[in-house]
Chain A
């Protein structure tokens, strides 16, 4: 069952150099209980996608100009601010890369957690305290009774991210959006946090949108994947479609460039030449065309639509690719 449907979402920013299109016709959907990964280099529009869904684009510069975001049948692009605030507290939980930005440095973590619970779950302070301790315990924070009275700076980075997850999940949202939740953490702590998210997901049956630039994390944690480049979806499919039979030169390039533990050391790694362009400097046609080693003249004039790959669509997710030449490559 589709929980969230993003359909042809486009968003623009007003900048000193004029209006730029940060998202262009982005479409994907997330089913209940599913984990969808969004991957791409920095600057590809992953965070802007998350902010657009939650209607947290910086105002007044950032605007959704086209498309729809439907959560449980309700359109979020047209919802009023009050409704959105409720949805963000109740139906969508959020976790960002830097836990400190999500936490109030001068308030104890117990108080910060309880705030949401008192707002959405119960009015009784004792019940709220018990619930807070239970949640802290659930996210793996030892001695929650002591930790409740501590301030964010007294915790390690991993523990802080656990607190942010606790806050995001306090109201048992149907969807968790996690934007690079483990990027600032050590691999060991990353493994702890990813395991925690997946355990809570199983408990609560929630869907997760996991945004990361790390293809390893995607392969470990996601059911389906959206590969983004410069604000457009380049390829989407099940995690097996993307890793076992990638069709887009960008997906292939990303996969080829990762050093792996089982490859021969000191050999030349394949690279994607160049860098992600700024939104003012996008090439015409396919946005990846100026870095693509397979580009032909038509690639910089025609914008390839996202096209389903025949016979490769599992029941859950369609494998689709936005490349004029995918069939020949």
Chain B
């Protein structure tokens, strides 16, 4: 991928596809495929945050789950530190699991409700054979402290915590094994702004402290811009634009990116203006529109947009876009 000529990136994804069979009839034959991820390439360096935005149904979670290998991708490659982990068996994956962790929007879904916080945090340490009981116990105290939970939380259960505190537990578990990369799937979307900012601050602090890389998935572009070094915009299974946050906000190149930015309500009544509104909904990835799949909703569509999938244009070394308005690659 362009712009990554120096050190090999921590994570490199090339031409990734995840097609879910849509089964029908008594034989449950795959009648069609949901092309949730349909050609995604991206890279993340150590200590870097790549933000991933797009409307719901664009394949962000599926991409994240492929990277942590909760799903077996249909094709393409996932390289971690140069090693291809796309097809590794669950057993062969074990050493990589500790380096690639995930946190979810609803921590309750991923936290075992019947386990105490202490047990939840100890589990990954046990699975990966880290330390003896005393060392693990010390590590749990350290983790609670790192994520800003009181020491007495250890003996309590997830339901006894507020949403923001539960997210702290999810983060503590994710960092327990000192990972290199965390896929964060909408970790603050369900939280109030005041709590959201607490969690964002925590993630930013931990990143500095541990040189963590994040793939930060969210639908709120202002949140993503705050935490990310670079941002990728995804539409119907494809990345349509990647740029650093400032460029993405000041000079968005793809009409979809521009639509997303203009849809964000600005928290300043003095800056109210009539902005163009993107119509329609994300179409089904089972039968995506031909050519550029955004063309039916695109305010700038041209006849040729329905004919071919635009190839990637390199605007600058760290700004790429897939849109015919931006011509062919130089």
Contact = CB atoms under 8 A, between A and B. Distances in A.
Given A159-B281, A219-B266, A259 B204 contact: no
Interface in A88-137: none
Contacts, number: 132
Interface in B244-281: 245-246, 249, 259-270, 272, 275, 277-279, 281
Contact of A41 (B194, B204, B262): B194
Contacts of B225: 259, 261, 265
B312 interface: no
Looking at chain A's contact residues, is the secondary structure mostly helix, strand, loop, or mixed?
A: helix
A257 B193 contact: yes
A219 B194 contact: no
B250 to A, nearest CB: 9
Contacts of B262: 191
Contact of A191 (B229, B263, B267): B263
B123 interface: no
B249 A219 contact: no
A262 B264 CA distance: 12
Interface residues of B, number: 47
Contacts of A265: 225-229, 245-246
Interface centre among A186, A214, A240, A255 (most CB of B within 10 A): A186
A177 B19 CA distance: 42
Interface residues of A, number: 46
Contacts of A269: 197, 200-201, 226
Interface string A45-66: 0000000000000000000000
Contact of A187 (B197, B229, B260, B272): B260
B193 A215 contact: yes
Interface stretch (B2-10, B62-70, B95-103, B214-222): B214-222
A315 interface: no
Interface stretch (A73-81, A270-278, A303-311): A270-278
Given A253-B194, A254-B194, A216 B264 contact: yes
A166 to B, nearest CB: 17
A158 B55 CA distance: 12
Contacts of A187: 55, 219-221, 260, 263-265
A280 interface: no
Interface string B130-169: 0000000000000000000000000000000010110000
A281 to B, nearest CB: 12
A32 interface: no
B193 to A, nearest CB: 5
A301 interface: no
A195 B265 CA distance: 12
B287 interface: no
B219 A275 contact: no
A310 B319 CA distance: 52
Interface string B37-59: 00000000000000000011000
Given A215-B193, A269-B197, A188 B260 contact: yes
Nearest to A223: B269
Contacts of B270: 240, 243-244
A257 B193 CA distance: 6
Interface string A244-287: 10000000011101111111011011111001100000000000
Contact of A216 (B200, B226, B246, B267): B267
Contacts of A194: 265
Contacts of A220: 265-266, 269, 272
Nearest to A244: B270
B267 to A, nearest CB: 5
B197 A188 contact: no
Contacts of B265: 187, 190-191, 194, 214, 216-217, 219-221
B195 interface: yes
Interface of B: 55-56, 162, 164-165, 192-198, 200-201, 204, 219-223, 225-229, 245-246, 249, 259-270, 272, 275, 277-279, 281-282
Q: List the 7 closest A-B pairs by CB distance, nearest first.
A: A216-B265, A259-B226, A269-B197, A272-B194, A257-B197, A41-B192, A191-B263
Given A158-B281, A191-B263, A213-B192, 17 more contacts: A41-B192, A42-B192, A187-B220, A188-B260, A191-B275, A216-B267, A219-B265, A219-B269, A219-B272, A244-B270, A259-B223, A259-B226, A261-B249, A265-B226, A265-B228, A270-B197, A271-B194
24 contacts: A41-B194, A41-B195, A188-B259, A188-B277, A191-B262, A191-B263, A191-B277, A195-B277, A214-B193, A218-B267, A219-B265, A239-B269, A240-B270, A253-B194, A255-B267, A259-B225, A259-B227, A260-B222, A262-B249, A265-B225, A265-B228, A266-B227, A270-B197, A275-B195
Interface of A: 41-42, 156, 158-159, 186-192, 194-195, 213-221, 239-240, 243-244, 253-255, 257-263, 265-266, 268-272, 275-276
